[in-house]
Amino acid sequence: MTGRTISVYAQWALHGKVLDDEGYQVIACSNGDLSKANFGDALSRFTLGALDMLPQVSVSYLQPAAPSPGGGYLALAIHWFAADGQRHADGVLRFDNQGRPTAFTSYFCAPYVQLAPHGVTYPDMYRGFSAVTLPGTDGLPAEVTITAAAQQVPGIDDLAMRVAPLLLTGVPVCVLGADATSMEERLRFIDTVMGLLPYGFRARMTAATWTRATNRNHRFRLFFSSAPRASEKPDHVVYWDKPELVAPPGGDAGHYYGWLTDKVTPLATLTRLNAEISFGDSAGTEALRLVDEIRLWRRPRPRPPAPDSPGRRGTPGSQSKAAPESADPVEMLLCECDEHVRAPNLSRLRQDLSLLQDRLQSGGIDDSRRRRYRSLVNRFGLLGPDQRLGKYEGKLLDTLIALAFGSPVSYAVLCQLEDSVRGTPGHLPRTAPDPGLPRPLLEALERTGLADVRSKVIVYSHLDGRKLSRWLSSKEVDAYRLIGELARRGWHRKAHGRLFCDATLKYLQDKRGRYATAEIRRALLRNGYLAQALREIGHDQYQVHALTSLLVAAFPEEHYPRGIGDAAITEILAGTPDAPTPALLAAILRKIPAAAAHQAWDAYTYGSIARMGLDEATHGALRTHLPVLAAADETEPPEPPPAPGPRPPQALEPGRGLRLETSDGT
Amino acid sequence: MFGAEDDVYVALSDELARLNGTARFTVVEFGADRATIWRIYRDENGTPRAEQPRLPAAVLKDPDMFYREVEPVFIVRTATILPDDLLGLLPGARDVPVYECRAPLEDHLREAIRDSPLVLGYELAVLRQVPEGRPEAGRLLLTGHQLFPPGVTQGHRAVVRVRCEPTDGDGTVFGVVTRDRRPDVPPNDQALRPVHIQSAEIPAGTYEVTAVLARPGRVLLQGLPAQLSKFSGSWDELRSQVPGRLAAPEPVHLVCLVEVCGGDDRLELRIDRLSQLIDEGEKGAGRLSVSVLAYGPHSVAWSMDEQPVAVRAWAAPGSRAEQELRGLSGRKPEPREYRRAAQLECALETVARLLSGRDGRPVVVAAGGRPPHPHAMDTRTTIIPCPDRVNWRWQLDRITASGASFGALRDHDARGDIWRSLGRDAVATVDDAVDMTDFAARLGLSEAAQTVPFPFAD
Amino acid sequence: MASLGKNSSTGSGKRTYRGEPGIAMLGATGSGKSTFLGALQIALLKQENEWRIWCREPASRKALVEMNTALTSEGRFPLPTTGIDTFDWILGGRRARTERKGRFGSRSFEESIELTLKLTDPTGELARPDQIGLQSREELVDHVAKSRGILYMFDPIREFNRGDAYEKTYSLLMDLVAAVADDPGFDGRLPHHVAVCVTKFDEPRVFKTAESLRMLVWDEHDPLGFPRVHSSDARDLMHSLSKVSRNGTGEVVPQLLEQYFHPDRISYYVTSAVGFMVSKRTRMFDIQDTENVYRIESGESLVRGPVNPINVVEPILWLVEQMALAG
């Protein structure tokens, strides 16, 4: 459709300075329905602030005080400097009598009823009005020819798509990061946004192609600026080149966004369907198939969200605006945190965190509250990494951990956190190899404080090997404690046990000399050389490796140049509370000469059968079939006095037959 | 029978051709009511003259007395019916032709005289200087430069190149003369007798003049820049005004101060006007030396470098000074320069410092519009003062003491004591057309030192 | 009402005093409000004291940097303000305090001060009587009513040319009184502390007036040789300058202020945001050439030399101190 031309009688006013030192004022205006005072009032309401980048355009409206058949006006103001060659007004001076550049405003308003039927856009109005040279004295309304440009599809401007629904929330929208764009481009953007809303909204719309950031009290609903204004009620802040960061609003405004997406996105998606297709007999069928696959938005049936049900961030209809039913302000704050993280609105987030910190400091968070907070945190996925938050990410995590999980963080809590994060979209599924927690979260955990050895080993291992090494060198750690932890089993994840075992083995290797090997042996003996524990955390190869390392630690070569003796073999394989494992046998075999292998086999057989959970009758029947094991080796080096503890099982008497001794001596 | 005009013309021409020396002839016209007697003769310059002699009344009553006293060479009858007394005077048998024609005899006389050839050569009275190496070298002599030889008739042209020197008094006299050719008198001493003397105020300069013989006794001179008018003074007095020698011209030192700020157009205007003034000055008095000083505002801000007064030429020949003046065109204005004043005070200080009597009588002409920087804080104007505290009044006084005259080619909005003082001898607005000759004359740039009444022939 | 000051301790025992004094700038068009603010940063630096100014909020930070850079590096004055600009600038420093310890003892300590100056810089046009009733004027009155400090800019040159200081000040004061009349404790006078700044001290007519009244005081330690007018003479200077106001009403402006504010809450200063011109040749003050502003060919006004503000920090520190004492 080609452009249509309409003629309107526009009321006008020229605002600026004359050389009388009175400052800015309405210099001249049309002598129609609107008086100089009306213009003065309108102009004072919609000031951009002092800008050094002109021309700029602002759009607004005028409503007569008394309802009139003609209705209201759409207003467009062009703000400009009186540089050489300008055509906006006659006889104006570039500088005031203080020598400061004067910013003039050519203000035009035309009856809405004349513009609306033709769908006149802001750029159309700008083109028409900018061609008018205003006089320096009062005069008649100006007859202006406005050519409406050819109708266009509103354009699949991603940012405009997201900003239009934001306007419906009633909160102004501030666009940052558009410094490199031209005024015309910004005016077109404003028009594009309004083109995605019913035309009638223009009757109340106010917008500006630029405003001064410190001019906090302006009333523009959509405006560009260089920084967010620190007004009491914050604006929606969006970034020109980052539309993806604009989260859709909640409520019906969000539904409107969905509707827009439904209507506009399919057209945009067409450009992405770029596999080669030929025009042939089945072209129509193929085209339909492709577009059918484009998922359309469906307005969800409104329902109250369950407080503990896991939710995915960004799903329309399950927004944080569906607030928890309790009146706990912390829960409200967590909802707002979520909203401010999505936006992101860092200044508001800072305020949220400050309030949450206050709550934390005041104490009194019981377990049930913590559970509810955890549920919300998990639902909102607030623990996931988010670089957009910058320095606030750490603060957010510190606060959420303390609030929802408590401090210091134990292993159990660590596992809960992991579960929480693993459930966050974008993170790996449970079955994938565990890459560990995100680094920001690990750092937050360290700052919060770790309660036990397990959590420390896991966090330090992921964070930094040097941290782990330092901690292992500290007085908090000794070999017996590590072995004890390993023996306790109960790992939430295999990988945890593995990490812990690696750390233990490293300790035993690096800290040789800091521990008594006899004590190590006794500890390992008490715990079955950790053979059963290791089955839970590693595959066969790993078990053999780990058990070999433990044997090396327990039987250092300098003390046992000929390897492990028969008595020790018997003790390890047949004398511990736990049944030996094939991996333990394999590890033993690696550390003994071939001649002693049969001793190991016998001890293994013996230990395996003896430690089975059999009844007396079954056990008794098997006794005679079991091999006879060798006595202790008298040439073993002298050992330090044994530590008090349960008596190890006595060596069996030589000879055939089997006399079992239980650990209690019976 | 009437219609004998041609016969009358021929007869008169013949008589004029025969007329020489002190001879004369008489012709008579018989009209309807009376007789008119014309006596024709040649004056000392050979120019035919006609007069009506006074005769007793009886001469016209007695035919014998008439023919004896009057001796007409012919009679022209211009009326069909004559009065009785004139009828009786007709010649009858006497051998005096009578021509009948309608036109009055006077008309025929004028025509015949106009067409008669010159009997003496005409010269233009000019001055010559005795050349160097001769006795009395440099002495001025009044002599004649040939225009027309004898025998030429009306319409004859001659071209002569003349040089007019500056003169006061009544201007330059262009005198057509004849020479009293006496064989016993050397040509340079032969007296020049005025034929047709005209004068006008001719600016000094060289001109190519075309002399056209209108009629014997009247020569038109074309090619001069002013209209000639009849000289009514005494020829002898004119001759006595010829000075013995040309006086040496007074040297003049024209100092041009040109303000370079205010925009290209304005600067171009100032340059044009000063250039015209230099040209004018070169025409006038003798030796002219020209200085050109350019000045702008003081650098009042730290971010601007000071641009002191530039002496582009000092006591230089006019052509070089003009070249320097033209070189000021196309100055790129400094966007941050001060707009309320220019360092006119420092320009005057420079002039006062450099002026000496050697270069001639100073004539200071300023072209600009801005006021000077004051020498101290001025709360009335709040113009930023000169950093060197130069007081323009003192400098003006110093220059005045050296005998300078002052002219101002100022902008239309130039105000204040300074521009009144600078324009006290001559002032013009640079935006308007300027009568530069008058401007230069007011400054004494085209003053003449003496009376030189006649031109020189080159 | 703006919340003022609270002390907080960090874990290491250091004290920090935080406050949010609201200060409104009032003055006619071109009286130098924005320039005053633009010069604040450089004024603090030149004083070499411990005070510094910074911002948390990006819009205020950007404005601070732009105004300071334009004035000091480019010699350009701020654009005329339109609407009302609000800046949250944080003034940080240290001060010595003494507190009672026990029944008989006292203890001296140094505390950090962090004051968020909520500065309101309105366009001068809003003081015009024809603006009464308009929304922007109401907003200005509201801002000023919520502030507790006022920087009142008195422009002697404007007063000489136009003589409208009384008219505009009076109408604004009437609006202010109406706005605070219902506040608890209102005693008929506005509760604000007012620092009256006689601006443009470097302008020749202002300077000469001070000189002729023998009010100039030279500090031999001043590296640039700048004279000052002591604050005790500032009111008299203002009075003398007002006597030559165009319509004669200017000289009652001080009385007007003293009638509607508490006189002991008013202090006077003679200021120049850009300071005196420093001679490029001598690098010192030149009594014959004081003005540090000039007009260029295009008509724009620029700063001539380095910016050395006079009495820009002092009124603000006085206001801050007074407001802190008032609680």
Percent of chain C with pLDDT over 90: 35
Q: What is the mean pLDDT of chain B?
A: 90
Domain boundary pick from A120, A151, A182: A151
Give C280's contacts in chain B (Cβ within 8 Å).
299, 302
Cβ-defined contacts of A425-431 (< 8 Å, 24+)? A425/A312, A425/A313, A425/A381, A425/A384, A426/A384, A427/A384
User: With a CB-CB cutoff of 8 Å, which residues 28-47 of chain C face chain A?
Assistant: 28-30, 34
Domain boundary pick from A104, A119, A151: A151
H/E run at residue A272: none
Check residue A315 and give its pLDDT: 43
CB A30 within 8 A of CB A172: no
Residue C150's nearest CA partner among C260, C71, C238, C64 is: C260
pLDDT of A401 over the 70 cut: yes
Q: How far is B443 from chain C (nearest CA, A)?
A: 33
Tens of pLDDT along A384-398?
A: 888 888 888 999 999
Residue A100 to residue C135, Cβ atoms within 8 A:
no
Phi, psi of A665 (to 5 degrees): 90, -5
What is the C-alpha to C-alpha distance for residues A457 and A485, in angstroms, rounded to an integer? 11
- Ramachandran category for residue A308: left, alpha or beta (phi over 0 → left; psi -120 to 50 → alpha): alpha
Check residue A654 and give its pLDDT: 38
Q: How confident is the model at residue A233 (pLDDT cuts 50, 70, 90)?
A: confident
Q: Evaluate whether the domain defined by B252-442 bears CATH number 3.40.630.10.
A: no
Of C203, C208, C295, the CB nearest to B339: C295
What is the C-alpha to C-alpha distance for residues B454 and B172, in angstroms, rounded to an integer? 5
Instruction: Taking residues C1-30, report their average pLDDT.
Output: 63
- For C181-244, the three-class secondary structure string (H helix, E strand, C coil) is CCCCCCCCCECCEEEEEECCCCCHHHHHHHHHCCCEEECCCCCCCCEEECHHHHHHHHHHHHHC
Residue B375's nearest CA partner among B395, B354, B405 is: B395
What is the C-alpha to C-alpha distance for residues B246 and B165, in angstroms, rounded to an integer? 9
* CATH H-level superfamily of C6-326: P-loop containing nucleotide triphosphate hydrolases (3.40.50.300)
pLDDT of A151 over the 90 cut: no
B192-to-A550, B146, B166, B195, B246 alpha-carbon distances in Å: 152, 12, 24, 9, 21
* Domain ranges across chain C: 6-326
What is the C-alpha to C-alpha distance for residues A403 and A68, in angstroms, rounded to an integer? 59
Q: How confident is the model at residue B290 (pLDDT cuts 50, 70, 90)?
A: very high
Which of A54, A216, A218 to probe by mutation at the C interface, max C CB count within 10 Å?
Answer: A216
pLDDT higher at B132 or A189? A189
Residue C256's nearest CA partner among C145, C176, C144, C136 is: C176
Among the residue ranges A369-383, A616-630, B352-366, C258-272, the one predicted with the least confidence is: A616-630
- Ramachandran category for residue A564: left, alpha or beta (phi over 0 → left; psi -120 to 50 → alpha): beta
CB C41 within 8 A of CB C64: yes
Tens of pLDDT along B115-143?
A: 999 999 999 999 998 888 888 788 888 99
Residue C75 to residue B387, Cβ atoms within 8 A:
no
Q: Which amino acid is at C57?
A: E
Instruction: Taking residues A211-222, report their average pLDDT.
Output: 91
Tens of pLDDT along A464-479?
A: 888 898 888 888 888 8
pLDDT of A299 over the 50 cut: no
Instruction: Taking residues A132-154, report their average pLDDT.
Output: 83
Check residue C233 and give its pLDDT: 92
Residue A454's nearest CA partner among A545, A537, A358, A555 is: A537
Tens of pLDDT along C231-277?
A: 889 999 998 888 877 777 777 888 899 999 999 999 999 999 999 99
List strand residue ranges (DSSP E) for B216-337, in order: 218-222, 229-230, 252-259, 288-295, 310-316
What is the C-alpha to C-alpha distance for residues A578 and A547, in angstroms, rounded to an integer? 14
Q: How confident is the model at residue C15 (pLDDT cuts 50, 70, 90)?
A: low
Q: Which residue of C has its CA nearest to A218?
A: C83
* Domain ranges across chain B: 5-115, 122-246, 252-442
Q: Which residue of C has its CA nearest to A105?
A: C82
H/E run at residue B30: strand B24-30
The segment with the largest mean pLDDT, out of A471-485, C7-21, C193-207, is C193-207
Residue A15's nearest CA partner among A64, A60, A78 is: A78
Residue A49 to residue C134, Cβ atoms within 8 A:
no
Check residue C14 and give its pLDDT: 56
Interface contact C162, partner A, CB < 8 A: yes
Q: How far is C214 from chain A (nearest CA, A)?
A: 29
Phi, psi of C16 (to 5 degrees): -130, 130
Q: Find how far residue B406's CA is from the centre of its chain.
A: 27
Q: How far is C311 from chain A (nearest CA, A)?
A: 22
What is the C-alpha to C-alpha distance for residues A666 and A544, in angstroms, rounded to an integer? 33
Residue B456 C-beta-side C-alpha neighbours within 13 Å: 19
Check residue A563 and give its pLDDT: 78
Check residue C125 and give its pLDDT: 81
Tens of pLDDT along B42-90?
A: 999 999 999 999 888 888 888 888 888 889 999 999 988 888 888 888 8
Which of B331, B384, B389 to probe by mutation at the C interface, max C CB count within 10 Å?
Answer: B384
Check residue A651 and give its pLDDT: 39
Check residue A308 and give its pLDDT: 46
pLDDT of A297 over the 80 cut: no
Query: Which of helix, strand or coil describes residue A581?
Result: coil
Cis, peptide link before residue A55, omega less than 30° from 0: yes
Tens of pLDDT along A478-523?
A: 888 899 999 998 898 889 999 999 999 999 998 888 788 888 888 8
CB B32 within 8 A of CB B7: no
Check residue A583 and give its pLDDT: 95
Query: Which of helix, strand or coil describes residue A64?
Result: coil
What is the C-alpha to C-alpha distance for residues C92 and B396, in angstroms, rounded to an integer? 59
Give C28's contacts in chain A (Cβ within 8 Å).
23
Q: Which amino acid is at C98?
A: T
Check residue A314 and give its pLDDT: 43
pLDDT higher at A132 or B451? A132
Q: What angle do CA A323, A327, A332 make, to 5 degrees?
A: 45
Residue A17's nearest CA partner among A117, A141, A100 is: A100
pLDDT of A105 over the 50 cut: yes
Tens of pLDDT along A524-571?
A: 988 889 999 999 999 999 999 999 999 999 998 888 887 788 888 888
Angle between helices A582-590 and A540-554 in degrees, nearest 10: 50
Residue B407's nearest CA partner among B444, B445, B363, B447 is: B363
Instruction: Taking residues A350-367, report their average pLDDT.
Output: 84
Residue A230 to residue C59, Cβ atoms within 8 A:
yes
Q: How far is A179 from chain C (nearest CA, A)?
A: 14
CB B422 within 8 A of CB B407: yes
User: With a CB-CB cutoff of 8 Å, which residues 269-298 of chain C face chain B?
Assistant: 279-281, 287-291, 294-298
| Exposure letters B137-149 (e unless 16+ CB within 10 A, then b) | eeebebbbbebbe
Instruction: Taking residues B145-160, report their average pLDDT.
Output: 94
Q: How confident is the model at residue B187 (pLDDT cuts 50, 70, 90)?
A: confident
Distance between first and last Cα of chain C:
11
Residue A391 C-beta-side C-alpha neighbours within 13 Å: 2
A606, two tokens:
């013996």
Residue B287's nearest CA partner among B248, B326, B329, B241 is: B248
Residue B297's nearest CA partner among B308, B312, B313 is: B308
CB A111 within 8 A of CB A164: no
* Residue range of the domain that includes A54: 4-151
Q: Residue B410, class by beta-carbon neighbours within 10 Å (0-12 exposed, 13-18 middle, 19+ buried)?
A: buried
CB C76 within 8 A of CB C302: yes
User: With a CB-CB cutoff of 8 Å, which residues 69-108 of chain A face chain C?
Assistant: 93-96, 98-103
Check residue A108 and give its pLDDT: 95
Phi, psi of A6 (to 5 degrees): -125, 160
Beta strand pairing status for C293-295 and C266-270? unpaired
Q: How confident is the model at residue C40 (pLDDT cuts 50, 70, 90)?
A: very high
C67, two tokens:
């105004």
pLDDT of A635 over the 60 cut: no
Q: How confident is the model at residue C54 (pLDDT cuts 50, 70, 90)?
A: confident
Interface contact A25, partner C, CB < 8 A: yes
What is the C-alpha to C-alpha distance for residues B24 and B45, in angstroms, rounded to an integer? 15
What is the C-alpha to C-alpha distance for residues C276 and C292, in angstroms, rounded to an integer? 5
Q: Find how far residue A490's CA is from the centre of its chain.
A: 31
CATH of B5-115 given 1.10.150, 3.30.420, 1.20.120, 3.30.470: 3.30.420
Domain boundary pick from A104, A131, A151: A151
pLDDT higher at C60 or A64? C60
Q: Residue B170, class by beta-carbon neighbours within 10 Å (0-12 exposed, 13-18 middle, 19+ buried)?
A: middle
Check residue A310 and give its pLDDT: 45
Residue B195's nearest CA partner among B171, B211, B219, B214 is: B219
Neighbours of A533 (CB within 10 A): 24
Q: How confident is the model at residue B334 (pLDDT cuts 50, 70, 90)?
A: confident
Instruction: Taking residues C276-286, report their average pLDDT.
Output: 93
Q: How many domains does chain A have?
A: 2
What is the C-alpha to C-alpha distance for residues A405 and A392, in angstroms, rounded to an integer? 19
Residues whose CB is less than 8 angstroms from the CB of residue C300 and which lie 6 or more positions away in sequence, other chains included: A94, A95, A99, A100, A101
Which of C82, C117, C118, C155 to probe by mutation at the A interface, max A CB count within 10 Å?
Answer: C82
> What is the DSSP code string of A93-134?
-SB-TTSPBPEEEEEEEEEHHHHGGGT--HHHHHHHHHT--B
Residues whose CB is less than 8 angstroms from the CB of residue A79 and which lie 6 or more positions away in sequence, other chains included: A48, A51, A54, A55, A56, A57, A58, A103, A104, A105
Residue A584's nearest CA partner among A551, A621, A558 is: A551
Check residue A316 and give its pLDDT: 42
Q: Is the dihedral of CA A370, A371, A372, A375 positive or negative?
A: positive
pLDDT higher at A293 or C129? C129
Residue C205 to residue B379, Cβ atoms within 8 A:
yes
Residue A230 to residue C61, Cβ atoms within 8 A:
no
Check residue A641 and give its pLDDT: 44
**ipTM (interface pTM):** 0.83
